Amino acid sequence: MATAKARTTSAEVQGLSGQLPEAVLSRVSDKLGIPAGRLSRMVEVLEQVVQEKGDTDSIVEKYKADKSALIQILLEIQRERRWLPKEVLTSVCEKLGVPLSRAYRIATFYKAFSLVPQGRHLVTVCMGTACHIRGSPRLLDKVVKVVNVNPGETSADQKFTLETVNCLGCCALGPVIVVDGEYHSNPSSNELEGLVAACD
């Protein structure tokens, strides 16, 4: 959903790396003194940055840069990128005409946001009352052991983020664990290990 402008730029950049003849790549790399592999990688990163900027811009546009939609905009960016980079907060606030302090306030107040990159796989354990009575603290202990991450943290290899949530509304199925958006009711230790092993 990139805006027309971003799409064009992105296409131009994308066209570049895909079509950069080897000869041109190696000549440029010689001139700049940068290894061809690294040069190629740099162009890839540039593509990605342009693509992501396009996404952020398009999200802001979708909400017509309405100040009151700040939280909604941040929610969508968090979902796309799995975190809220500083630069994105600055750019969104500029476009909306709100102080940067408000974005920090919101991003650190709500559980949905992360100011550091989250893992590729999000594991959530429900700690609501009904789940608590049915043993969610023990389930959490088991999960911590299996994914080797503490609640609220991300593994060093950025594979897993483990969160606790205060109620998912599936109280009759407790204790509940969610892995990448899939809900599971009262998993056994074996089932847990299977779920985690299935995450690459």
Partner 1 sequence: MAKLRSPADLEKKREQIVSKRDPSKPCITICSGTGCHALGSDKLHEAIVTEISKNGLRRKVDVRRTGCHGFCERGPVVVIFPDETCYLGMKPADASEVISKTFVEKQLVERLLYKDGSGASVALEGEIPFYKHQTRTVFGNNRLIDPKSIDDYLAVGGYSALAKALLQMSPEQVLEQVKRANLRGRGGGGFPAGVKWETTRNAPGDTKYVIVNADEGDPGAFMDRSLLEGNPHVVLEGLIIGAYAIGSHEGFVYVRQEYPLAVSNLTAALGQARDYGLLGKNILGSGFDFDVTIHRGAGAFVSGESSALMTAIEGMVGEPRPKYVRTAVSGIWERPSNLNNVETWANVPLIINRGADWFTGVGTAGSKGTKIFALVGKVNNTGLVEVPMGMSLRDIIYKIGGGIRSGRRFKAVQTGGPSGGCLPESLLDLHVDFDELTGAGSMMGSGGMIVMDEDTCMVDIARYFTNFLADESCGKCIPCRAGIEQMLEVLERICAGKGEKGDIDLLEEISDVVRDASLCALGQTAPNPVMSTIRYFRDEYVAHIEQKRCPARVCKALVSYFIDPVKCSACGICLRNCPADAISGGKNLVHIIDQQKCIKCNTCFEICPTRFSAVLRISGEPVPAAPPLGTEVARKKGKQE
Partner 2 sequence: MTIDGKEVEAEEGKTILEAARSAGIHIPTFCYHEKLTPYGACRFCTVEISKKGKSRLVTSCVYNVEDGLVVQTNSPKVIKIRKMLLEFMLASAPVLAEVAKQYGVEKSRFKSEVTQCILCGLCARYCAEVKGANAITFVGRGVKRRVAFVDEVVSSGVCMDCRQCFGVCPTGKIPRETDGASFEGITVQDVLSRMNRK
Residues lying near partner 1 in the complex (CB under 8 A) are found at: 66-72, 74-75, 98, 102, 105-106, 109-113, 127-133, 135, 138, 141-142, 145, 165-174, 176, 181, 183-185
* List of residues contacting partner 2 (CB under 8 A): 90, 99-102, 104-105, 108-109, 115-116
The answer, yes or no, to whether the previous bond of 21 is cis (omega within 30 of 0) is no
Give the residue with the Cβ less far from partner 2, 90 or 189. Answer: 90
SS3 2: coil
- 120 makes contact, choosing from partner 2, partner 1, none, with CB < 5 to 8 Å by partner type, with none
- 99 makes contact, choosing from partner 2, partner 1, none, with CB < 5 to 8 Å by partner type, with partner 2
- 34 makes contact, choosing from partner 1, partner 2, none, with CB < 5 to 8 Å by partner type, with none
Question: What number of helices (H) and strands (E) belong to the chain?
Answer: 9, 5
The 8 Å CB, 24+ separation contacts for 195-198 are 196/123, 196/146, 196/147, 196/160
Give the residue with the Cβ less far from partner 2, 102 or 142. Answer: 102
- 184 makes contact, choosing from partner 2, partner 1, none, with CB < 5 to 8 Å by partner type, with partner 1
Report the half-sphere exposure of 169 (CA within 13 A, side-chain side).
Answer: 0
Distance in angstroms (rounded) separating the CA atoms of residues 73 and 58? 10
Distance from the first to the final alpha carbon of the chain: 27
Give the residue with the Cβ less far from partner 2, 108 or 188. Answer: 108
Give the residue with the Cβ less far from partner 2, 37 or 99. Answer: 99
